[in-house]
Structure 1
Amino acid sequence: MTPFRIRVPASSANVGPGFDSMGLALNLYLTLDVSASATWKIEQHSSHLPEVTDVDNHYIVTIARDIAGRWNQEFPPCKMTVWSDIPLARGLGSSASAIVAGIELADQACALALTREKKLELATEMEGHPDNVAPALMGGFVISTVTDRAIDWVQLPMPDADVIVYIPEAGLMTEAARKALPDTYQRELAASASARSNVLVASLASGDFHLAGNMMECDLFHEPYRAELIPNYDDIRSEAKKSGAYGTVLSGSGPTMMSFAPTGKGESIVSHFKELLPDYQVALLQIDHDGAVISLQG
């Protein structure tokens, strides 16, 4: 086995009203260096990764073995060194990045030659929906949905903008955020929520980020129900707007929040919020346009 590196970006789902269908790749990364070994050896170098107790319970390895088994192959032992910039349980796609990494690991180590579409199908099956795994695989801003025939997706160019994230110390499990949502929506509300999502996509496609920012903050599907679970939700949205942001949304199900701002404005917003929220990690990020990348190291 030629040594190789897997790099998978973080992702932010929903972007306001694009509930369970929109996602954006960001330049925080899960990185694996992999090489052949007579026995399993796993090293991890990040506080954002769960403690390694047993290779048989390692999430990424479990996924890789599962994928290899579906193609009637036994996954070989490896030396695997793992780094991650992606905080757990913060709404930045940590589980999606691990799923994509596991699929890419099996594909590369076992020479499965999986297509991008097959990888997306497998990742969506494991994650439950494609909103995070699609941008983690493809990069950029991806709109996706599961239909009867396939997983359909479109990679939409994003207008230039600065991306600011506000990451609190405490996490929020996706299950708790899901429980806050209603089981059903009345038709009038669902129609209005869907229309706002449509206008968001149209405004992004036309490059009108001012309108897009307004639509981001008009979600009816999930943010109104999750807001009470998110510390400083209203204050961050209001203060970001005053500071020049186009709009601010929950990143996935939270608790991280994310603002879009005019290019060049992000640094001043970050500086302001670092003083305002000293317990948060406030950072200026970039949109990742590459998605999951495999590079040979030997």
Structure 2
Amino acid sequence: MFISVPATSANLGPGFDTLGVALDLRNEVSIKRSRFFSISIKGEGSKSFRLKGNNIFISIFNEHYRNLVDKKEKFRFTFYNKIPLSRGLGSSSAVIVSAIAAAYAMAGIPLSSQRLLSLALSYEPHPDNITPAVMGGFNAAVVENSRVYSIKKEMPQNLKAVIVIPNRPISTSHSRTKLPRKLSLSDAVFNISHSSLLTAAIFNEEWDLLRIASKDKLHQDIRMRAMPELFEVQKLALQNGALMSTLSGSGSTFFNMVYAEDAKPLAYKLQNRFSKFAIKILDFDNQGIIIEE
């Protein structure tokens, strides 16, 4: 059994806990029945003893598999990780959705995308990352009565993502405590209107509206203060072809959407200015999770 899940960029400016897009940077896992339990990690996290000793994928997989088949079995797990850990690119969501999907696949029980999303909510209550991880593409999603309702837009090939990955993380739990508990009416309207325009612009492919539509007054600036260089990243990106430049998830990665012809020049300027950060040019992913026998 082979399962592959894409990275995601969520929040997307004003789309806090609601908007997300899948990126063609994938975590893969191979699962085989075995006489002995074993786990091998290659790529991101390969040197982490914690991931081998307390692996969230294994815990979620075992929980669901035992509930489905009511027996214990041993497996050999091989992880090929490309999504950076704790950098706002959906590494946790990739683990959650792939572990649940793997349990159902190994048990031989069909699992719809909608059911997978509902099960994933138990571990990740915000749908902006898990939805594009499952569905691929750009997604607007909400949760109602423990169910994810979403609409997907496939991303065209003439767009690229230029992502800036700093050499240190921003704590999601800590940064969330810094967010305001109350909003003024004007700030609430600002985010609602910009999030609505951002969604409409992407669905209508009116890319020139994204620079305005991606502005935010709820979370970005507050989180970026933990790493002031990110303000410079955003400014440089918007000055050099980025259609939008937003914090990816809770950070520390920064997500930039560009026309394909502008990707390399922007990546060069970002790398030249931020030499200690990793810069990647990625395609958008429209497939979402892939499960192969």
**TM-score by structure 1 length?**
0.93
Residue 205 of structure 1 deviates from its aligned partner by 1.7
Structure 2 counterpart of 1:136, which letter?
A: A
Q: Does the aligned pair in 1 maintain the 2:162–2:282 contact within 8 Å?
A: yes
Counterpart selection for 2:265 from 263, 268, 275: 268
Runs of 5+ in structure 2 lacking a partner?
none
Residue 96 of structure 1 deviates from its aligned partner by 0.4
1:123 aligns with 2:120: yes
Which range moved further: 44-53 or 63-72? 44-53
Query: In 2, distance between residues paired with 1:50 and 1:128?
Result: 29
Partner residue, 2:90: 93
1:172 aligns with 2:159: no
Q: How many residue pairs were aligned? A: 292
Partner residue, 2:183: 185
Residue 278 of structure 1 deviates from its aligned partner by 0.7
Q: Does the aligned pair in 1 maintain the 2:154–2:286 contact within 8 Å?
A: no
Counterpart selection for 1:36 from 33, 36, 43: 33
Structure 1 counterpart of 2:127, which letter?
A: P
In the TM superposition, 1:128-143 aligns within 5 A as: 128-143=125-140
Query: In 1, distance between residues paired with 2:72 and 2:13?
Result: 40
Cα shift readout 1:231-251 (whole Å, capped 9, x = no counterpart)? 412211111122111120000
Structure 2 counterpart of 1:126, which letter?
A: Y
In the TM superposition, 1:208-247 aligns within 5 A as: 208-216=206-214, 218-247=215-244
Residue 40 of structure 1 deviates from its aligned partner by 0.4
In the TM superposition, 1:4-43 aligns within 5 A as: 4-43=1-40
Structure 1 counterpart of 2:229, which letter?
A: N
Query: In 2, distance between residues paired with 1:44 and 1:275?
Result: 32
Residue 213 of structure 1 deviates from its aligned partner by 2.3
Q: CA RMSD in A?
A: 1.7
Residue 67 of structure 1 deviates from its aligned partner by 1.5
1:197 aligns with 2:178: no
Query: In 2, distance between residues paired with 1:53 and 1:188?
Result: 45
Residue 75 of structure 1 deviates from its aligned partner by 4.8
Query: In 2, distance between residues paired with 1:125 and 1:170?
Result: 28
Partner residue, 2:65: 68
Q: Structure 1 pair 53/166, CA: closer, same or farther in 2 (3 Å)?
A: closer
Partner residue, 2:285: 288
Q: Secondary structure at the match of 1:62?
A: helix
Q: Secondary structure at the match of 2:261?
A: coil
Q: Percent identity?
A: 27
Residue 186 of structure 1 deviates from its aligned partner by 2.4
Residue 73 of structure 1 deviates from its aligned partner by 2.6
Q: Does the aligned pair in 2 maintain the 1:73–1:110 contact within 8 Å?
A: no
Q: Structure 1 pair 56/165, CA: closer, same or farther in 2 (3 Å)?
A: closer
Structure 2 counterpart of 1:176, which letter?
A: H
1:77 aligns with 2:55: no
Q: Secondary structure at the match of 1:125?
A: coil
Query: In 1, distance between residues paired with 2:90 and 2:51?
Result: 23
Residue 72 of structure 1 deviates from its aligned partner by 5.3
Query: In 1, distance between residues paired with 2:210 and 2:61?
Result: 39
Query: In 1, distance between residues paired with 2:163 and 2:292?
Result: 28
Runs of 5+ in structure 1 lacking a partner?
none
Query: In 1, distance between residues paired with 2:108 and 2:189?
Result: 46
Q: Does the aligned pair in 2 maintain the 1:213–1:260 contact within 8 Å?
A: no
Q: Does the aligned pair in 1 maintain the 2:155–2:285 contact within 8 Å?
A: no
Q: Secondary structure at the match of 2:121?
A: helix
Query: In 2, distance between residues paired with 1:112 and 1:62?
Result: 19
Query: In 1, distance between residues paired with 2:134 and 2:187?
Result: 32
1:161 aligns with 2:159: yes
